[in-house]
Amino acid sequence: MEKIPSPCISICQMDPVKEVCIGCYRTRKEIAQWPTMNGEAQHQLLGELKQRRAEQTGISARSNARSNARTNTGTNTGSNIGQNGKQSTN
């Protein structure tokens, strides 16, 4: 599996109670290990980070839009909204 860019969003501040970055939700150890992790481990950690974010903020983890687009390609989603954002009349 291909390595991916760091999940850092340049809000680098550690929560002193939870001991995770308030920007990316990684621990200091995870931040330090990221460059040496293989792609599979990075993807696994990203899943864990989505869950941490959801638990700490109350915002549910979003699905991966790219995966959904590949899955839904060529399928009818039941929507009548056209590419211009307006409802179609067919």
Count the domains in the chain: 1
Residue 50 token pair: 């989505």
Chain center to CA of 3: 15
Lowest mean pLDDT among 20-24, 50-54, 59-63, 86-90: 86-90
> Helix or strand or coil: residue 60?
coil
Residue 52, domain member (yes or no): yes
Question: Which is higher by pLDDT, 84 or 7?
Answer: 7
What whole-number distance in Å separates Cα of residue 4 and Cα of residue 2? 6
Structure confidence by residue, pLDDT tens digits, 3-57: 999 999 999 999 999 999 999 999 999 999 999 999 999 999 999 999 999 998 9
Residue 18, domain member (yes or no): yes
Residue 30 token pair: 């995870």
Q: What is the pLDDT of residue 60?
A: 79
Residue 71, domain member (yes or no): no
Under the banding of pLDDT at 50, 70 and 90, the label for residue 59 is confident
Long-range contacts of 67-70 (CB under 8 A, 24+ apart): none
Residue 79, domain member (yes or no): no
pLDDT at 72 > cutoff 70: no
Residue 86, domain member (yes or no): no
Residue 81, domain member (yes or no): no
Residue 42, domain member (yes or no): yes
**Which residue range is the domain that position 52 belongs to?**
1-58
pLDDT at 63 > cutoff 90: no
Q: What is the pLDDT of residue 76?
A: 45
- Cα–Cα separations (whole angstroms), residue 25 to 28, 69, 81: 10, 26, 36
Residue 76, domain member (yes or no): no
